[in-house]
Amino acid sequence: MNKSKIGVIVGAGENFDQIFQRVKMLNFSLCQIGFLAENMGLYNPGTIRQKADEYGIEIFSVFLLFKGQIFNLKDGPATMGFVAPDFRAQRLKLALEFSDFVREMGTSRIVCHVGFIPDDELDPLYISFIPVMRKVIEKCRENGQIFCFETGQELPSTLKRTIVDIGLDNIGINLDPANLILYGKANPIDAVEIFGQYVKSIHGKDGLWPDRDEYLGKEVPVGEGMVNFPLMIRRLKKMGFQGPVIIEREISGERQIQDIKKAVEFFSALL
């Protein structure tokens, strides 16, 4: 794995010149872009692809987000992804449209938090969730895309069972090891043993376990948290992993830029 296999996640904004200039300023040639599905009508996907080409940037994947999601253990189950029943029908419609949007952008990977998948395979919520998820992934298949589950809100064993139950061949995982810790779900090393062969990309993000009275753990700079990146990447490589590490730092301002640059040094030395 070389320097070109390190990327950064950015959010979609009004001006893609500025976004791609920032990616280049940070010395990346690869990125993942996060979009709110409800806002996709604001963008011309062909223009985004054209701008990326102009700046020599590979859009490795796009992150599908929805309005109304709350990223914590208290409010998350009722608001996240396709599992949350109150939002399911609307988000299914949006996701099918989003797959077409991404096809026009010329990108072949969609990443998404699908929600808090129930551990019990007989839970009515789980039984009704699987066919909805299958429709989304079938649509991606028609468009030549791989659908990648973002990790963290479910047990690794539950995620693997979900992939097997859906039963399609265009499914992958975007492994966010910090999320597994932030949501208190698993040690990332154990998770790799369970679903490692599905991992297509990694979020370079670190975190601390939640305390008993917290609704989420704490994200920290790479190398300062509980993720054992050297061991995790070594294990993944043994399983044939060749994807990128996409750096994510969920703060803003100058500190974010400093932490991203430190993360590049960390992963460059490691890889």
Summarize pLDDT for 11-43 with one digit per residue, the tens: 998 899 999 999 999 999 999 999 999 999 999
Here the tokens at position 29 are: 């040639």
- Cα 51 from Cα 66, distance rounded (Å): 25
Residue 195 sits at the vertex; the CA angle it makes with 108 and 238, to the nearest 5 degrees, is 90
Predicted confidence (pLDDT) per residue in 45-67, tens digit: 999 999 999 999 999 999 999 99
Do you know the residue count of the chain?
A: 271
Query: How does pLDDT run across 110-164, given as a tens digit for each residue?
Result: 999 999 999 999 999 999 999 999 999 999 999 999 999 999 999 999 999 999 9
Query: Residue 203 — pLDDT band, cuts 50, 70, 90?
Result: very high
Q: CA dihedral defined by 80, 86, 91, 93, rounded to 10 degrees? A: 170
pTM to 2 decimals? 0.96
Mean pLDDT (whole number) for 87-101? 98
User: What CA–CA distance (Å, rounded) separates 121 from 142?
Assistant: 27
Structural domains in the chain? Answer: 3-270 (3.20.20.150)
Burial class (CB in 10 A: 0-12, 13-18, 19+), 16: buried
Tell me what pLDDT residue 1 has.
Answer: 40
3, pLDDT greater than 60: no
* Residues 233-261: tens digit of each pLDDT: 999 999 999 999 999 999 989 999 999 99
Q: Which pLDDT band, with edges at 50, 70 and 90, does 191 fall under? A: very high
For residue 73, what pLDDT band results from cuts at 50, 70 and 90? very high
